[in-house]
Amino acid sequence: MSLEEKLRELEELRRRSLEGGGPEKIKRQRERGKLLARERLDLLLDPGSFQELDWLVTTRGAPLGEVPRIPGDGVVAGFGRINGRPVFVFSQDFTVAGGSIGEMHAEKIVRTIKYALKSGVPVIGIWDSGGARIQEGVAALHGVGRIFNAIIQASGVIPQISLVLGSSAGGAAYAPALMDFTIVVDKITYMFVTGPDVVREVTGEEVTFEQLGGARVHSQLSGVAHFRAANEEEAFRITRRLLSYLPDNNEAPLPIIDTGDPVDRRDPDLDSMVPDDPHKPYDMKQVLERIFDHGSLLEVQPEWGTSIITAFARLGGIPVCVVASQPLVLSGAIDINASCKAARFVRFCDAFNLPVITFVDVPGYMPGLDQEHGGIIRHGAKMLYAYAEATVPKLTVVVRKAYGGAYISMGSKSLGADIVYAWPTAEIAVLGAEAAVRILYRKRLRAAENPEEERKRLIDEYRRTFLNPFRAAELGLVDDVVKPSETRYKLYTALEVLLKKREPRLPKKHGNIPL
- Annotated catalytic residues are 170-171, 405-406
Cα–chain center distance at 233: 20
Query: How many C-beta atoms lie closer than 10 Å to residue 218's C-beta?
Result: 27
Measured CA to CA, the distance from residue 242 to residue 160 in angstroms comes to: 11
Q: Are strands 318-325 and 308-315 parallel, antiparallel or unpaired?
A: antiparallel
How far from 76 is each of 27, 41, 182, CA to CA, in Å? 19, 9, 19
Please report which helix (H) or strand (E) contains residue 15, including its range: helix 3-19
User: Which amino acid is residue 172, in one-letter code?
Assistant: A
Measured CA to CA, the distance from residue 439 to residue 449 in angstroms comes to: 19
Nearest to 223 by CA among 349, 343, 401: 343
Radius of gyration of the chain (CA): 26
Measured CA to CA, the distance from residue 454 to residue 464 in angstroms comes to: 15
HSE-CB at 470 with a 13 A cutoff on CA atoms is 4
How far from 362 is each of 139, 292, 324, 343, CA to CA, in Å? 51, 21, 9, 16
Measured CA to CA, the distance from residue 106 to residue 90 in angstroms comes to: 11
Nearest to 78 by CA among 120, 125, 11: 125
Q: Quick check: helix, strand or coil at residue 235?
A: helix
